[in-house]
Structures are given as structure tokens and as C-alpha cells.
Amino acid sequence: MLSIGEFARYARVSVRMLRHYDSLGLLVPVRVDATTGYRYYSAEQLTRLNRLVALKELGFTLDQVGTVLSGDVGAEQLRGMLTLRRAQIVEQIDADQARLSEIEARLRTIEKEGTMSELEYVEKSLPAVRLAQLTDDVGSQPELGMKVGPLFDRVADRLVAAGLKPDNPAYAWYEESESGIHFGAGFPVTAESVDGVEVVDLQPYDRGLTVLHHGTMETIGDTWQALVTEVERRGLTFGGPGREVYLETPMESQEHWVTELQQPLG
């Protein structure tokens, strides 16, 4: 018969752990002194403790350890638990490896630029949106600057004419076509149709890469360029037309505009 201290020393666990396992019923001392409350263990209990520690080391919760130790799990069930655990660990390793390469990318950025990049790319799902929109085409990128703003104004005018007020946030989207760029601009609505504009449902995507653009629309091309580059750096594939979400558009000046660029992924 061993005192709790001796037992703990033999097994290289803490006294506190033994008390904890006792309180959970996982490993009950062979004898507990009725008057002092002192716990006494037999050396034979080391076997159970060793199994307990080994199972814990595999990453099972104490609850699961209890189930296995209780002895009423068949080989089949045990195999199921181990298989599940294996899948969880593989998942964990994958996630850690992703973290690792992300950290290494950031370390390289610091070496090169002396600071951490300002732009934060965020991978997230993109919601579906019902939009009251108008569309147009341009031959090349630079022409967009002249066209998108007025298109928003026209949509807003027609919504007002139809008795609705333009809701926030405004959306734009861009698609390459044979002749150049096909694009749309609009506002969220709930109605099925609105006179004078087209009502469409922008498709939701499970995955998209996004970044925030601050300030004037003059430089939004640069931010798009950076986002596209990041998609490629991460080895991702494009899954649909890019969108702009106008989160903050104070009328005084474009200086404090906040636009989210969303690139759907495949």
C-alpha cells in the first residue's frame, strides 16, 4: 500500500491529478482512511494509471478515458474511437501546417519590408444578395472610372421613382467579356421586381477572399491587383466575378469611403 505521494512519484504524475482522477471515479484508491481521509493505493493500480495516462496522451478527454477504462467497450468500438481520434489529429496537423506557412510568409514580409503588411486578406463565405441593378460594358479598365458612379446614380433615381429608397450597402460586380468588361451596379432589395431596373440574385459562395479598400475609387484598381496576386500566392482558384461592397460612403468626400473587395473562389 502506497501513500498518494509515493504513488505519484512512482508514476510521475502530480498528487493533484490523482485526487482529480479519484473525484471523477477514474482511479479510486484501494483504501481511504475513514478518520484522516488519507488515500492509499496498491502497486497493482499502477497498471490502470498507466493506461489512463497513455490514453490521455493520445488526446482523449478524461470522459472518453473513463469509457475505455470501464472495460465495456468492444474492439469494434475502440477501433471507432481511435479512427475518429486519428482524423481529428490529421485535421489539427493540417491546420497547424497552414498556420505555419502563413507565419513564415509574414516573417519573409518583415525581412523584406521591415514591417507587417497593412492589408489583411480574409477568407470567408460570401452571402447571396438580391440586387436592383443596371449593367453596362466598357472596352477597358480605365474607362470604368467614368461609368460606375453615374450608373449607381441612375439606379438610385429609378428606385426613388419606383417609390423605394436605395438601401445600404451598395454592390458592384465585374466580369470579363470578349469585348472588354461587363459590369453591374445596384442596391439590395427584397421585392421580386422593380420598375425600370433589373432584379437579380447574386450567387452565394462558400469561399471568397476579401480585402478592404480605404479612400477614393481612383486607387481601387491597385487594391484589386493586390487581391488577385494574393489569391495566386495562396494557390487558390477563381470562382466567379469579383464584387465591391460599399460599406461606408460619406457624401462629403471619398477620403473616408470603405469598400470591401470580394473575390469568389472555386
Residue 4 contacts which entry, DNA, its own copies, none (Cβ below 5-8 A, type-dependent): DNA
Segment interacting with its own copies (CB under 8 A) among 97-105, 136-144, 154-162, 223-231: 97-105
E strand residue ranges, 167-234: 170-177, 180-188, 198-202, 205-214
- Residues in contact with 120: Cβ distance below 8 Å, sequence separation at least 6, in sequence order: 211, 212
Taking the complex as a whole, how short is the minimal distance between the CB of residue 73 and DNA, in angstroms? 17
Do residues 45 and 6 touch, judged by C-beta distance below 8 A? Answer: no
> Which CB, 116 or 160, lies closer to its own copies?
116
Give the contact letters, 181-200, x = binds to DNA (CB under 7 A), - = no: --------------------
- Closest to 208 measured CA to CA, from 173, 258, 183, 168: 173
Taking the complex as a whole, how short is the minimal distance between the CB of residue 41 and DNA, in angstroms? 10
Do residues 122 and 227 touch, judged by C-beta distance below 8 A? Answer: no
Phi-psi region of 119 (alpha: psi -120 to 50; beta: other; left: phi over 0): beta
Q: Give the phi and the psi of residue 56 in degrees, each rounded to 5.
A: -60, -40
16 binds DNA (CB under 7 A): yes
User: Could you say which DSSP state residue 213 is in?
Assistant: E
38 binds its own copies (CB under 8 A): no
Distance from C-alpha of 235 to C-alpha of 106, rounded to nearest angstrom:
16
Residue 62 contacts which entry, its own copies, DNA, none (Cβ below 5-8 A, type-dependent): DNA
Residues 28-87 interacting with DNA (rule: CB under 7 A): 36-39, 56, 61-63
> Which CB, 26 or 185, lies closer to DNA?
26
Cell of 37: 481521509
User: Could you say which DSSP state residue 234 is in?
Assistant: T
> Which CB, 86 or 233, lies closer to its own copies?
86
Do residues 182 and 135 touch, judged by C-beta distance below 8 A? Answer: yes
Do residues 222 and 259 touch, judged by C-beta distance below 8 A? Answer: no
5 binds DNA (CB under 7 A): yes
Do residues 43 and 37 touch, judged by C-beta distance below 8 A? Answer: no
107 binds its own copies (CB under 8 A): yes
Residues lying near DNA in the complex (CB under 7 A) are found at 3-6, 14-17, 19-20, 36-39, 56, 61-63
Residues lying near its own copies in the complex (CB under 8 A) are found at 2, 10-12, 42-44, 46-47, 50-51, 53-54, 57-59, 75, 78-79, 82-83, 85-86, 89-90, 92-93, 96-97, 99-100, 102-104, 106-107, 110, 114-116, 120, 122, 124-125, 212, 214, 247-248, 256, 258, 260
